[in-house]
Chain A
Amino acid sequence: MMTVVSQKLLAPKIYELVLQGELVNEMKEPGQFLHIRVKRQDLLLRRPISLADINPQEKTCTLIYRVEGQGTLDMSELKSGDLLDVMGPLGHGFPVADITPADHVLIVGGGIGVPPLYALSKAITAKGANVHHVLGFASKEVIFYEEAFKALGEVSISTDDGSYGTKGHVGTILDQLVTKDFQPTAVYACGASGMLRRIDQQFHDHPRAYMSLEERMACGTGACYACVCHLQQDETKTKSKRVCKDGPVFQTGEVVI
């Protein structure tokens, strides 16, 4: 069980939820997620939400989610002091152990895939590396955490409708940014599957390029095989990886998106 510290509307339908509890002691890897039982008892399945920030001193963590259906609508009604049934942290997060101050890191996020990249960027910048963030959103009104990311490194923003930053998707920025003058030594991405496919192609053979995937889940433990994906190097097409247990973070060139 964790206790709700605060809940804030960041943008239309996008909420920032801060939780407190002993479970924070186990939250070490950015990119891991919590599996949350909402209050409504008739909703049986837990909701997987990635960790956007971890504060071990305060024993708090931050989740940022978008109201998409009944479960997240129920979550949006949580108030300070409410108790929440939380499993986790689950899955394998972004590897950052080998990051050094010599690294030039590219972080690419899209929409509601942006939240786990904040905890990631904090972990990477804490190791002294340079980070350039490329973040894509649908429009100006749904942008969140721009200032928070700017405090960690450079930020380039694209919007689908051109209402802020570069018009188009993050690929438009990446085309200009990633040149022979800037070759990132590590790449991390989280967002919609179209964006991830683009990252997977562009950095297919990069030794340190990682992506976090999203899929409909049930158990969150790896037992039910609801959230599987094919492997790129599997001619039999019978092997799989589970997003909840083997992921959600995979190396580029590893799984079929």
Chain B
Amino acid sequence: MTNRLAIQLPGLNLKNPIIPASGCFGFGEEYAEYYDISQLGAIMAKATTLEPRFGNPVPRVAETPNGMLNAIGLQNPGLEVVLKEKLPALEKYDVPIIANVAGSTTEDYVAVCEKIGDAPNVHAIELNISCPNVKTGGIAFGTDPEVAYELTKAVKQVAKVPVYVKLSPNVTDIVPIAKAIEAGGADGLTMINTLLGMRIDLKTRQPILANQTGGLSGPAIKPVAIRLIHQVSQAVNLPIIGMGGVYTVDDVLEMFMAGASAVAVGTANFTDPYICPKLIHDLPKRMDELGIESLEQLITEVKESRLHG
């Protein structure tokens, strides 16, 4: 019998659509203490920059209604350690890695993208041009279509694996940016990164986060993600890995119906460390109830309904 959860995307043979989102899963080793991470469709590894980064001062997280703010600030041990220690440690698992790449300058991004595909288990790159929590780089590359185009093009010239570009919701119009990234030669999109937010401590009258602002994630942002994926999937011909507040199998299927071809799970890992295997396990039953034969077929049906709708 064919695997009804399997999905083929550029560079990625996914046995199921569930992928822990970047920044919420480290380099996999912590959650590997909880379950066999070979079950996962893929893993979006923590953002990697050329040099090691400590990130922002603490407090780095704050809770919000049905969500949370984070301002970690791309803490990571740098490309060298990621290539020498973090990625090799994941080789014993049968799971493709999507390496999230960030930087302050075009040269940084290019340097990391050129080398990170050397790791045998890195099957794709997620180009992070949407981190709201760093002063230089990050979101600055993801809010201007021209800048996004040039970076995508530069990275595509050196990358040895397909490149997915991660979009920010913190823009007036996401469509021109998505189109520019498609024109730049990207192989896919991932969306959405977090929404910029703030919380204030009533006792100190100051922002709770040391960085003042942070990225909002969790179920609170799911309708925003659904709307943007729906919008972008009709404007470009790139596959989309959808994310933003996925907690349940219904959320997963809603992402597909919005136009996604796979789904990343972020904040939900913090609420329940077993959420990803639970979603993988529960998905077929819910597909039966909704008359969905396979996810590949659902993707095709959603596309066709758009053409004729």
Residues 275-297 (chain B) with a chain A CB within 8 angstroms: none
Question: Are B63 and A215 in contact (CB-based, < 8 A)?
Answer: no
Q: Considering the chains assembled together, what is the distance between the CA atoms of A228 and B53 in angstroms?
A: 12
On chain B, the residues within 8 Å of A43 by CB distance are 63
**Do A236 and B52 form a contact, CB below 8 Å, given A218-B70, A225-B72?**
yes
Segment at the A interface, from B19-27, B148-156, B161-169, B229-237:
B19-27
Minimum Cβ distance to chain A for residue B42 (Å): 16
B60 on the interface (CB 8 Å rule)?
Answer: yes
Contact with B along A218-257 (1 / 0, CB 8 A): 1111111111111000001111100001000000000000
Question: Are A42 and B65 in contact (CB-based, < 8 A)?
Answer: yes
Question: Are A229 and B58 in contact (CB-based, < 8 A)?
Answer: yes
Q: Considering the chains assembled together, what is the distance between the CA atoms of A218 and B59 in angstroms?
A: 11
Question: Are B63 and A225 in contact (CB-based, < 8 A)?
Answer: no
On chain B, the residues within 8 Å of A236 by CB distance are 52
Minimum Cβ distance to chain B for residue A233 (Å): 15
Q: Considering the chains assembled together, what is the distance between the CA atoms of A215 and B63 in angstroms?
A: 14
Question: Are B68 and A44 in contact (CB-based, < 8 A)?
Answer: yes
Classify the interface of chain A: helix, strand, loop or mixed: loop
Question: Are A222 and B68 in contact (CB-based, < 8 A)?
Answer: no
On chain A, the residues within 8 Å of B25 by CB distance are 223
Question: Are B30 and A216 in contact (CB-based, < 8 A)?
Answer: no
Residues 6-57 (chain B) with a chain A CB within 8 angstroms: 23-26, 30-31, 33-34, 46, 51-55
Question: Are B54 and A218 in contact (CB-based, < 8 A)?
Answer: no
**How big is the B interface, by class?**
35 or more
Q: Of residues B52, B58, B267, which shows the largest number of chain A Cβ atoms within 10 Å of its Cβ?
A: B58
**Do A223 and B54 form a contact, CB below 8 Å, given A45-B61, A217-B61?**
no
B62 on the interface (CB 8 Å rule)?
Answer: yes
A84 on the interface (CB 8 Å rule)?
Answer: no
Question: Are B60 and A216 in contact (CB-based, < 8 A)?
Answer: yes
B271 on the interface (CB 8 Å rule)?
Answer: yes
Question: Are B52 and A44 in contact (CB-based, < 8 A)?
Answer: no
Question: Are A44 and B60 in contact (CB-based, < 8 A)?
Answer: no
On chain A, the residues within 8 Å of B270 by CB distance are 44-46, 218-220, 224
On chain A, the residues within 8 Å of B61 by CB distance are 45, 216-218, 224, 226
Known pairs A223-B25, A228-B60, A229-B58; list 8 more (Cβ under 8 Å). Answer: A42-B65, A46-B270, A221-B34, A223-B31, A224-B26, A238-B51, A238-B53, A239-B52
A interface residues with partner B (beta carbon < 8 Å): 37, 42-46, 71, 87, 215-230, 236-240, 245
Please give me the 9 A-B residue pairs with the lowest Cβ-Cβ distance, nearest first.
Answer: A223-B26, A238-B52, A223-B30, A226-B61, A221-B30, A222-B30, A216-B59, A219-B270, A218-B270
Could you pull out 13 A-B pairs where Cβ atoms are within 8 angstroms?
Answer: A37-B271, A37-B272, A44-B218, A45-B270, A218-B270, A219-B30, A223-B31, A224-B70, A225-B55, A228-B54, A238-B51, A239-B52, A240-B54
